[in-house]
């Protein structure tokens, strides 16, 4: 760096709002946001989620209303997650393959109402469908079986693609599933269906409210540390990303978000591909708890954290604050 004080005064460009705007290095817009939504049974139903203040499960007809809201706000994509009824859960998660399951009905309803005006990202994993809450099939000891699970995930992906999903997002962390899903999509004619891989998904303490939202918290037996990543590891994340890209992922995701911005930066600098992050349920709940305690202003906290994702290298962010943030940005 050349120059010295007083010839160089870095505060000069901060002196006025117009100058700060002109020199701003990172820009956040509604187009950077993906809005996660939870789907439940019924009609005209809203079910507030206690551990996620301000977030609800919505029946299919109400999900369509939310989708229209997203279009109006300039949010380009929704991420859908089902709250499967207990009687439809099973050890083998077979409801994931039902072409009339909640996820598929929600996809079709949004497509019928809005066509291609909003993107639909659909979660691929078995935890919303299994009676044991794990992301895959398990053996008698409770160990999640990799290759057998991948076979089911392929069927789940084809089921969602046939319903009209734009982006298949495998969140299960099974080895080899991206290549298997990509091959199946190609063979079935879904050549333009994208894969956004949860490539670096950590075994995190920040997922609790999400498990409430999809109804799996009380069902989960054991933990997910045999397939989700150790929070201590960075190099392993790069290996996961490299493999998923080689197998056909169009973009990759880091999850959770804010505590893993170093991973986002490493992935972006190493591979120069679209990188997304998920500001997960625990992160959202922490902001809402801070607001409720009078420890911070919601608007400022939301925009600052989302800007941090963009500054770290994210192409976009999955966030439960998407609609609120879009309203602020559209201000």
Model confidence pLDDT, tens digit, residues 226-265: 999 999 999 999 999 999 999 999 999 999 999 999 999 9
Domain annotation covers residue 63: yes
Domain annotation covers residue 241: yes
Domain annotation covers residue 265: yes
Quote the pLDDT of residue 1.
Answer: 64
The tally of domains found in the chain comes to 1
In this structure, are residues 221 and 132 in contact, taking their beta carbons and an 8 Å threshold?
Answer: yes
Q: What's the rounded mean pLDDT across residues 187-200?
A: 98
CATH of the domain at 160: 3.20.20.70
Distance CA 59, CA 269 (A): 41
- Global pTM value: 0.96
Quote the pLDDT of residue 234.
Answer: 98
Quote the pLDDT of residue 216.
Answer: 84
Determine the structural domain holding residue 161 and report its residue range. Answer: 27-330
Domain annotation covers residue 66: yes
Domain annotation covers residue 5: no
Instruction: Quote the mean pLDDT of the chain.
Output: 97
Scored b (16 or more CB within 10 A) or e, 215-244 reads: bbeebeeeebeebbbeeeeeeebbebbebb
Domain annotation covers residue 6: no
Judge whether residue 121 has pLDDT over 80.
yes
Handedness of CA 294, 309, 116, 155 (dihedral sign): negative
Domain annotation covers residue 281: yes
170-193 confidence digits (pLDDT tens): 999 999 999 999 999 999 999 999
pLDDT band at 222 (very low <50, low <70, confident <90, very high): confident
Q: What's the rounded mean pLDDT across residues 308-328?
A: 98
Share of the chain above pLDDT 90, in %: 97
Active site residues: 201, 255
- 206 — phi, psi (to 5°)? -95, 10
Judge whether residue 3 has pLDDT over 90.
no
Domain annotation covers residue 300: yes
């Amino acid at each position: 760096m050349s120059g010295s004080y007083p010839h160089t005064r870095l505060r000069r460009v901060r002196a006025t709002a117009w100058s700060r705007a002109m020199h701003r290095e990172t820009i956040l817009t509604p187009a950077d946001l993906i809005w996660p939504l939870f789907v439940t049974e019924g009609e005209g139903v809203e079910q507030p989620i206690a551990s996620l203040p301000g977030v609800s499960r919505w029946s299919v007809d109400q999900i369509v209303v939310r989708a229209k809201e997203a279009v109006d706000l300039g949010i380009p994509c929704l991420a859908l997650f089902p709250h499967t009824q207990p009687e439809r859960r099973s050890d083998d998660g077979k409801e994931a393959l039902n072409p009339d399951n909640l996820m598929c009905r929600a996809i079709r309803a949004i497509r019928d109402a809005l066509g291609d005006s909003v993107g639909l990202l659909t979660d691929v994993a078995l935890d919303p469908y299994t009676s044991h809450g794990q992301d895959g099939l398990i053996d008698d000891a409770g160990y999640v079986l990799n290759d057998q699970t991948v076979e089911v995930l392929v069927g789940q992906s084809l089921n969602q693609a046939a319903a009209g999903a734009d982006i298949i997002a495998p969140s299960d962390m099974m080895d080899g599933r991206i290549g298997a899903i990509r091959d199946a999509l190609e063979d079935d004619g879904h050549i333009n269906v994208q894969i956004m891989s949860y490539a670096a998904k950590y075994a995190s303490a920040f997922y609790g409210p999400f498990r409430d939202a999809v109804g799996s918290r009380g069902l989960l037996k054991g933990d997910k540390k045999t397939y989700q990543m150790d929070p201590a590891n960075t190099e392993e994340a790069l290996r996961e990303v490299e493999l998923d890209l080689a197998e056909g992922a169009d973009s990759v995701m880091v999850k959770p978000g804010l505590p893993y911005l170093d991973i986002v930066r490493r992935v972006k600098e190493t591979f120069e591909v679209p990188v997304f992050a998920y500001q997960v349920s625990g992160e959202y709940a922490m902001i809402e708890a801070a607001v409720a305690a009078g420890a911070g202003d919601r608007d400022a906290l939301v925009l600052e954290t989302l800007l941090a994702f963009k500054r770290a290298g994210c192409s976009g962010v999955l966030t439960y604050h998407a609609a609120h943030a879009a309203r602020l940005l559209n201000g």
